[in-house]
Amino acid sequence: MTSKSMRQAREEHQRMLIFKHKFENRITIAKFGKESLDAGDYGNAIHRFGEYMEIMAEYKKTKDFYSLRVSHFDPKTELTEMLMMSHIFFEMARVYDAVPKFQPESKRCLDQFVAFSSNQPYQVVNSELIRKHMKKSVFKQPELFQNAHRQIYVQSKKCYVVTFCYGTDHPLTHDFRLFKDWLLDYAAGREAVRIYYQYSSVMVEKWEKNPFMTLASKIIIRPLLVLFSKTILRLILPKC
């Protein structure tokens, strides 16, 4: 082995060690980004989020993080990573939207948010995430966020047990939507909602074809929902 090839081998080994360290610390980097975002330090938030995304792009061997695709990931082992990436893309889109010269970047991030949300178990969670921000945020490009929401929106009929029992317009259904909005403010709540949608959509689809479950919803499930609404739900959301 020549001295040149030995030097190249050492450099490659060093590069791999550096990347291994960065990859192992990627979650911490993303966490720093979220902390900066919450503190209003948007420049550092974008820097940290971009650093995390660049690590993922290098890990998946794509030219940049806008080239990352769902197909690069294994949903059985990397679903949590995909969910986090989708949320980071959304936060980057929100920050970029506020600065006119970076608004094209906002659209690119939103496109990635849609790509990493569609047809995933957490799709409904992300649909609710963007809907909630559309209600309370003033976007410079509202049509882009509205379009992103339309692309990932999932009809609620097969996803809400309460809708199966009471329909879409019942006051109790509205109360549980408020409860879901409250849950989405917390990481544990978002995970609970994701799991709920993952399994409830399958259950409700079967229940709709089962006359026994229609009867059971009237005798068993409805009273339980009412009890929850009048006790725990009122403690959490006093205005319900």
pLDDT tens per residue across span 1-32: 677 777 777 777 688 888 899 999 999 999 99
pLDDT grade, residue 201 (50/70/90)?
A: low
Task: Note every long-range contact of 76-81, with CB atoms under 8 Å and residues 24 or more positions apart, other chains counting.
Answer: 79/120, 79/121, 79/122, 81/56
pLDDT value at position 114? Answer: 92
pLDDT value at position 156? Answer: 38
Rounded Cα gap, residues 39 and 17, in angstroms: 32
Rounded Cα gap, residues 134 and 148, in angstroms: 11
**What residues have CB less than 8 Å from 91, skipping those under 6 apart?**
33, 34, 37, 45, 49
Rounded Cα gap, residues 56 and 116, in angstroms: 14
- The one-character DSSP state at 1 is -
pLDDT tens per residue across span 30-75: 999 999 999 999 999 999 999 999 999 999 999 999 999 999 999 8
Task: Note every long-range contact of 141-149, with CB atoms under 8 Å and residues 24 or more positions apart, other chains counting.
Answer: 141/97, 141/103, 141/106, 141/107, 144/97, 144/106, 144/107, 144/110, 145/93, 145/97, 145/110, 148/110, 148/113, 148/114
pLDDT tens per residue across span 138-177: 899 999 999 888 888 654 334 568 887 888 778 888 888 7
pLDDT value at position 89? Answer: 98
Q: What count of other Cβ atoms lies within 10 Å of the Cβ of residue 65? A: 23
Q: What count of other Cβ atoms lies within 10 Å of the Cβ of residue 110? A: 25
What are the backbone dihedrals phi and psi of residue 93, each rounded to the nearest 5 degrees, phi first?
A: -60, -40
pLDDT value at position 43? Answer: 96
State yes or no: pLDDT of 233 exceeds 50: yes
pLDDT value at position 9? Answer: 77
pLDDT value at position 158? Answer: 44
* Percentage of residues in the chain having pLDDT higher than 90: 45
Tell me the Ramachandran region of residue 43: left when phi exceeds 0, alpha when psi lies from -120 to 50, beta otherwise: alpha
Listed by start position, the domains of the chain span: 11-154, 155-240
Residue 83 and residue 122 in contact, taking contact as beta carbons nearer than 8 Å: yes
